[in-house]
Amino acid sequence: MIITIDGPAGAGKSTVAKKVAHTLGYEYLDTGALYRAIALYLRDKKVPPVESDEMRTALSNVDIHFEKERIYLDGRDVSAEIRTVEIETIVSSYAKLSMVREKLLEIQRKLGSLGNIVADGRDMGTVVFPEAILKIYLNAELKERAKRRWNDIKASGRDLSLEEVEVQLKKRDEEDSKRKHSPLRVPDGAFVIDSTDLTADQIAERVVELAENVIKSRGDCR
C-alpha cells in the first residue's frame, strides 16, 4: 500500500512522511534524494543538463540505492553531499529532463513494489504512484517555507540570507511547476493541507487518521 505526499520545497513533506511511515510501520521513500543524487552524479561527470547520448550512457551506468534511509551513489554514501545549496540550485534543471525522469521512474516503481511505503516528491500521486491509497498535497506560504529552509541552512553552519533562500525556493518552485514532464501539481483526489500554521506532528496525526480510515474502509469492503 502506498501513501503519497507531494508539494513544493519547504512545505514539510519529508518530516511528515517520516513520522507517518514510522507510526504506520511503513518504509519512507525520499524521491527528492534520488533527483539530488542524479544531479550530483551528472555534475561530477561534467554532463550538462541537456539530453544527450553522453547523458544516456552515464544514466545507464549509475548505481543508486537506499540503505537505512541513507542514499548511496556507486557505493558511496552521498546523503550529506546532496543537501548542499549548490545541488539545490542545479537539481531542477536536471529533474525537468525526460531522460532523467524515465530512469528514476523505473527505480521508484521498483522500490514501491517492495512493500508498504510513504513516498514524498513532486509527481508521486500524479505519475509515479497513481494507484496510491491516499494522496496528500502539502503546501505552505512561501515566506514560511523560506524561513524553515533558512533555519535548516543556519543549523548546518552555512551562511545565506533569508531573502536569498526565498528567491531560490521561488525559482525552484517555478521550474518544478512549469516544466512539461511531470510538473508539480495537486493530484486528482488528493487531500490538500496547508502547513503554514501547523506543526509537523499535527499534520502527521491528520495524515495517519486519514490513512487509517482508508485502510479500514478497504478492509470493510472485502
Site for ligand CDP in 72-111 (CB under 6 A): 91-92, 95
Of the chain, the end-to-end C-alpha distance in Å amounts to 16
In terms of CB distance, is 192 or 222 closer to ligand CDP? Answer: 192
CB of 85 to ligand CDP, least distance (A): 11
Q: Chain-centre distance of CA 201, in angstroms? A: 19
Amino acid identity, position 42:
L
Cβ-based nearer residue to ligand CDP, 11 or 211: 11
CA–CA gap between residue 101 and residue 200 (Å, rounded):
29
d(Cα 205, Cα 195) in Å, to the nearest integer?
13
SS3 28: strand
* Secondary element (H or E) of residue 177: helix 162-178
Segment contacting ligand CDP by CB under 6 A, of 32-40, 57-65, 152-160, 188-196: 32-40
For the segment 114-143, give every residue that binds ligand CDP (CB under 6 A). Answer: 121-123
33 or 211: CB nearest ligand CDP: 33
Applying CB under 6 A, among 112, 172, 193, 204 the residue interacting with ligand CDP is 172
176 binds ligand CDP (CB under 6 A): yes
Q: Single out the segment in contact with ligand CDP by CB under 6 A; choices: 17-25, 28-36, 56-64, 109-117.
A: 28-36
Return phi, psi of residue 62, to 5°.
-75, 140
Contacts of 89 (CB under 8 A, 6+ apart): 168
Question: Which chain residues interact with ligand CDP by CB under 6 A?
Answer: 9, 13-14, 31-32, 35-36, 91-92, 95, 121-123, 172, 176
